[in-house]
Amino acid sequence: MRTLATIALLAVLAVACSKEERGVVDAPIDPGLQDDSAPLIVNMPDKFMNLALKCIDTTLVVSHTREAATVVIDDASLCQDDAPSFDELTRSEDEPE
């Protein structure tokens, strides 16, 4: 029994130590393609899932806080060059520009 506990502890430590500064090393990161800009976060009322929206070129990626697939929308109008920025979309009418 003690051997099993030791093996379990070593496995947990190995997994905990395998993390890099940016995640769990599940995929290589190309520094030239990395985009650390913040997504637009949409906070919803209770019992509705919050959303995170992010444009990658002209593709909109929508992820959320529930167990379901991420949504990818190609050629999204929100991600076009002439579309308003996330800041413009979320600014209240009372805020100065």
Q: Where are the domains of the chain?
A: 37-90
- CA atoms of 78 and 80, how far apart (whole Å): 6
Give the pLDDT band (50/70/90) at residue 8: low
Mean pLDDT of 72-97: 74
Rg of the chain, C-alpha, whole Å = 20
The answer on pLDDT for 54 being more than 80 is yes
Q: Mean pLDDT over residues 48-61, rounded? A: 89
Q: How much is the pTM?
A: 0.55
At 48 the pLDDT is 87
pLDDT at residue 42 tops 90 = no
